[in-house]
Amino acid sequence: MGTPDFAVPILEALQNSDNKILEIYTQPAKKKDRGQKVQNSPVYDFAKKINLQVRCPISLANSEELIHIKSLKPDVVVVVAYGQILPSDFLNLKNIIFLNVHASLLPKWRGAAPIQRAILNMDEETGVSIMKIVEKLDAGPVLLKSKIIINKESNYQDVSKKMSILGAKLILNALDLLKSGNINFSDQNENEATYAKKIDKKESKINWNDSASNIVAKINALNPNPGCWFDLLGSRIKIIKAKEVNINGRPGAVLNENFTIACSENAIKVLELQKEGKKKTTVQEFLRGNKLKTGTSLI
């Protein structure tokens, strides 16, 4: 059970292993670009490419879906960013274990956006946890964990790819442990639990009264979607990449011709950006066609 790009390498690893995949569950196709085109999930497209049976229920909370999963008679259900809460009727089925590949070091960053929240929080490390699914969100006992380092240049896309590859290795290890009977689940410490709430698009607008380090972390965490943006003369500009520099000025003011922007503490130097309706570009290419006066205030 999975939906986004993050789940695809894990599905591929399972397909290439000696485990038998019975069926794939993924979220139904969604409309993209203001309703112009219907787009299947990345997991759907990959599953069809390798000729696996795919199921796309709008909801699992009905008798039809319960009867169906019973008929499959799986030993294990692997869940990776599926996007639906599993009903208790599913979780209580006998002889089936539900395993979640979760993109954090549980109990830290339970919830919908663990990678983004770890980068936003400027954590120095994160990782992948293989846990047994229980009714409480991401609160089940953990079988395996593995860490990766986060640095100041790490963005969501890069960290997500690394964690997906790591998750693929861990889930195969977990299945081997289950088959051998050598399993040891460890309960999570509820006192250490933190929650990674879903990213709200309102968070993507840059507030220049924030510190440069926080703004860079936000740019990295929300790249590529929804992305961090500001308003320049009525046009929305999304910053793809930036770095912190030790310069100070009035928050929101353009400090020099290299597109350095003052924050409440230090400044950011824009390296890559994207004007609304245009392709992303380097700051040098942007400035060739867009003259920017020093002292201009950004919103």
* Full 3-state SS string of the chain: CECCHHHHHHHHHHHCCCCCCCCEECCCCEEECCCCEEECCHHHHHHHHCCCCEECCCCCCCHHHHHHHHHHCCCEEEEECCCCCCCHHHHCCCCCEEEEEECCCCCCCECCCHHHHHHHCCCCEEEEEEEECCCCCCCCCEEEEEEEECCCCCCHHHHHHHHHHHHHHHHHHHHHHHHHCCCCCECCCHHHCCECCCCCHHHHECCCCCCHHHHHHHHHHCCCCCCEEEEECCEEEEEEEEEEECCCCCCCEECCCCCEEECCCCEEEEEEEEECCCCEEEHHHHHHHCCCCCCCECC
Give residue-wise pLDDT tens across range 186-201. Answer: 999 999 999 999 999 9
Give residue-wise pLDDT tens across range 265-275. Answer: 999 999 999 99
**Residue 31 and residue 85 in one domain:** yes
**Residue 16 and residue 104 in one domain:** yes
In-domain check, residue 298 = no
CATH number of the domain that residue 175 is part of: 3.40.50.170
Structure confidence at residue 187 (pLDDT): 98
Q: Point out which residues pair with 230 in neighbouring strands.
A: 237
Give residue-wise pLDDT tens across range 14-57. Answer: 999 999 999 999 999 988 766 678 899 999 999 999 999 999 99
Structure confidence at residue 33 (pLDDT): 64
CATH number of the domain that residue 257 is part of: 3.10.25.10
Percent pLDDT > 70 in the chain is 99
Structure confidence at residue 80 (pLDDT): 98
Q: What sign does the dihedral 55-59-65-66 (CA atoms) show? A: positive
Domain of residue 231: give its range.
Answer: 201-289
**Residue 214 and residue 170 in one domain:** no
Give residue-wise pLDDT tens across range 73-95. Answer: 999 999 999 999 999 999 999 99
b/e for 207-220, b at 16 or more Cβ within 10 A? ebeeebebbbbbbb
Per-residue pLDDT for 69 more than 70? yes
**Residue 97 and residue 216 in one domain:** no
In-domain check, residue 41 = yes
Give residue-wise pLDDT tens across range 248-268. Answer: 999 999 999 999 999 999 999
